[in-house]
Amino acid sequence: MPTVKVRNLKNKEVGDIQLSDAVFGAELNESLIHAAVMNYRANGRQGTSATKTRGNVSGSGRKLWKQKGTGRARIASLRSPLWKGGGNVHGPQPRDWSYQMPKKMRRGALRSALSERLREGNLIVVDEIGFAAPKTKDFLAALASLGLIENAKRAKTLIVDSLDNANLVLSSRNVEKTKVTNSFGLNIYDIIYHEKLVISKAAIEEIVSLLDPKSEGAAEQAEAPAKAKKAALAAGDAKTAKKKAEKADVEAPAKEKKAAAKKPAKEIVEEAAPAAEEASENE
């Protein structure tokens, strides 16, 4: 298991922490990270770009001049794509660019990216990120002491801690190239975009519980009884429907007999007349 020094906001070592090998010791998988980043960016697209077709542009619907005899090109409509101000052909139309990426692939990309940041030495574990008051000055001083500001150049920094830490959120919201999120909002794009990661000890535990493959298997096992119950209910509904169909097949002849009994005497005599005539002819 990789061991990392735990620091405070003054960059003093206050202990060590052993990180999960399953989460922070994964191999670099560039293709998986690329697929996850493309999925994240595609899901963030608005998809609202559009052009006007000939049915959307304004203009007369009448034929501007007669078909023959003018010496000019024939025209059917001013809104034709062939004419200036006409409609656009095969232009972009509003669409949904988002698509679903398998959960295991998405989590695998997060594990690979976090592990690579650790191997690069760009992952800093902090004991606690606390400020007495929401002051940007104190926040910038903490970044400088952690070595994230050098020669007036601020590194792109992602801070992972609880969003309930109001002083941290308020202190950092005006600082460029810095983003604060929690372990549940951690995504592949932020890890790749930001050069440095600052993670609190509490957030490390949450990330391990979210991304550890063993915990994923436990979650699936916990969901299994609910899925089995749902399948059993569906099977029960199918059996009930089958029983109703069988009952209807059994009751159908009785209903027909009952309906026949209710027929008027005139209809019964008319139905029996052909049979009686055949019998008399045979005699």
Q: Give per-residue pLDDT as tens, 198-216.
A: 999 999 999 999 998 886 6
Predicted local confidence at residue 283, as pLDDT: 55
Dihedral (CA of 97, 103, 109, 111) sign: positive
Regions of the chain where pLDDT drops below 70: 215-229, 231-232, 234-236, 238, 241-242, 245, 248-283
pTM beyond cutoff 0.85: no
Sequence-ordered alpha helix ranges (H) in the chain? 21-24, 30-43, 103-120, 136-145, 166-172, 188-193, 201-211, 213-261, 265-282
Q: Which residue in 179, 178, 180, 185 sits closest to 207, CA to CA?
A: 185
Q: For residues 83 and 70, give the distance between their C-alpha atoms in angstroms, rounded to a whole number.
A: 18
Q: Using an 8 Å Cβ cutoff, are 150 and 221 in contact? A: no
Predicted local confidence at residue 34, as pLDDT: 97
Predicted local confidence at residue 273, as pLDDT: 64
Predicted local confidence at residue 228, as pLDDT: 67
**Rg of the chain in Å (alpha carbons):** 37
Q: For residues 283 and 66, give the distance between their C-alpha atoms in angstroms, rounded to a whole number.
A: 88
Instruction: Give the model confidence (pLDDT) of 132-175 as tens digits.
Output: 899 999 999 999 999 888 777 889 999 999 888 899 999 999 99
Predicted local confidence at residue 257, as pLDDT: 59
Q: Using an 8 Å Cβ cutoff, are 72 and 103 in contact? A: no
Predicted local confidence at residue 166, as pLDDT: 92
Predicted local confidence at residue 100, as pLDDT: 94
Q: For residues 271 and 118, give the distance between their C-alpha atoms in angstroms, rounded to a whole number.
A: 93
At 91 the three-state DSSP class reads coil
